[in-house]
Amino acid sequence: MTATHPVQPSSRFDDAEAATGVPALADYPERDLVVRLAAESAARVDEDDASPFETLRRLGELGLLTRGREGSLLPQAAVIYDLATECMSTAFSLWAHRSTIAFFDAVGRPLPEGLADGSVTGSTAMAAAFKDAAGVGEIAVTAEPTDDGYLLNGVIPWASNLYAEGIAVLPVITTAGHKLIVTVPTDASGLDVKPMKNLLALDATASGFTKVTDVHVPATDVLSDDVPGFLASVSAPFLLMQASFCLGLSAAALTSARPYRRSSNGVFTEDFDDREREFERLSAELTRLAADPAAAGRRDVLQVRLDTAHLAQAAAHLELTVVGGRGYVADSPTARRFREASFLPVQSPTEGHLRSELRNA
């Protein structure tokens, strides 16, 4: 009897390899432009010689920063994914900006002028709210009531897109212990931003530590006084858009590595098969959850966010391993992806935060 070998199901990387491109999460008419613009600026952004918003504002002119505000989030997730295949900093900056838009949508507020097209930047300084809700941190900005609003004091340990004339959204806690979500201009008097530089990656994302000293917030700039309800509304888009850039980075790393699939006498073939199967699984799961984020289960969203981060790290490691010395050159795309992936365990919600929530879910 002649032995037969099972036929492996084809992967999207088979088609991508033939087309010398990266597999899409979802197709849309502007996809080639999105990828091209990100690729053209990736090296300069990585070197902090260009801002991600040079690309994002061009996309904003085409309405690509406000996809999926109602119904399926997949159209926006696909844009973030595609940006990440070429430049994680640009994808990350869009995630932070688009999350800010989601915060206004969650409470039915109209968007401030300029937020939709990126001419005004959105900064999500919400890590403390998510940590506080999960019991792994505390809100570090206090709000003292005044006649017409609140006076804020404290610190924001990390936020991104901290450009002048932008809008930041953050949690605060009043002197009576009530928690609120407020919005503050990024150039408000009393906001002292200390830029974070010399990062392994994402140096161009305008990230920093912020000291908050007697910053006045009028009552009209309180987005919500129901923090649990607010977080329940925004968590799925917040996390699914993060999963999108994790998956985009994975796709680029696996595509770059694939020509070396049978290097070293094929000892990495099984690793490729494992990573590509995981990519297919997570692409399907992210697509399912993004199709109806309002109905997405909390545990499912947390798990896909953690799993896509793990895949990005594994894919970037595999790429560096098989590409070899050329990938170790600091300004190579391989090295850039390896550095970008190293950020994911500390990206809020951190790996520890995610694992803690999943353990208790």
Residue 327 lies in a domain: yes
Residue 6 in domain: no
pLDDT reported for residue 202: 96
Domain closes at, from 203, 227, 251: 227
- Do the domain assignments include residue 240? yes
pLDDT tens-digit map of 136-177? 999 999 999 999 999 999 999 999 999 999 999 999 999 999
Q: pLDDT-based confidence at 12, cuts 50/70/90?
A: confident
Residue 348 in domain? yes
At 299-332, the pLDDT tens digits run 999 999 999 999 999 999 999 999 988 888 988 9
- So what's the pLDDT on residue 15? 58
Among 227, 261, 288, give the residue marking a domain's end.
227
**9 in any annotated domain:** no
DSSP 197: -
> What is the average per-residue pLDDT within 105-114?
98
What is this structure's pTM?
Answer: 0.95
Question: Would you say residue 5 has pLDDT above 60?
Answer: no
Distance, CA of 270 to CA of 255 (rounded, Å): 16
CATH number for the domain harbouring residue 135: 2.40.110.10
C-alpha span between 309 and 347 (Å, rounded): 10
Using 50, 70 and 90 to split pLDDT, how confident is the model at 2?
very low
Do 294 and 249 share a structural domain?
yes
Residue 218 sits in the same domain as residue 238? no
Q: 75, exposed or middle or buried, with CB in 10 Å at 0-12, 13-18, 19+?
A: middle
Residue with tokens 């959850």: 289
What length is written for the chain? Answer: 361
Same domain, 131 and 96: no
Cross-strand partners of 227: none
232 & 213 share domain: no
Identify the domain containing residue 76 by its residue range. Answer: 15-106
Please indicate, yes or no, if residue 239 is contained in any of the structural domains.
yes
Query: Is the same domain home to 57 and 86?
Result: yes
- 76, 106, 136: which is the final residue of a domain? 106
Residue 28 maps to which CATH number? 1.10.540
Judge if 98 and 136 occupy the same domain. no
Specify which residues 184 forms β-bridges with. Answer: 168
Query: Is 78 a domain residue?
Result: yes
- Same domain? 235 vs 350: yes
Measure the CA–CA gap between 274 and 214, rounded to whole angstroms.
Answer: 53
Contact 126, 169 (CB under 8 A): yes
User: Does residue 8 fall inside a structural domain?
Assistant: no
Tokens 């923090």, residue located: 227
In terms of domains, do 199 and 79 share one? no
Tracing tokens 């997405």 back to the chain, one arrives at: 296
Burial of 143 from C-beta contacts in 10 A (0-12 / 13-18 / 19+): buried
Residues 198, 249, single domain; the answer is no
Whether 355 and 244 map to the same domain: the answer is: yes
Is 353 in contact with 130 (CB distance < 8 Å)? yes
- The count of structural domains within the chain is 3
Say whether pLDDT at 103 is over 90. yes
Residue 220 sits in the same domain as residue 234: no
Residue 324 maps to which CATH number?
Answer: 1.20.140.10
Residue 14 confidence (pLDDT) above 70:
no
* In a shared domain, residues 189 and 95: no
Q: Give 197-249 pLDDT, tens digit per residue.
A: 999 999 999 999 999 999 999 999 999 999 999 999 999 999 999 999 999 99
Q: Residue 298 pLDDT more than 70?
A: yes
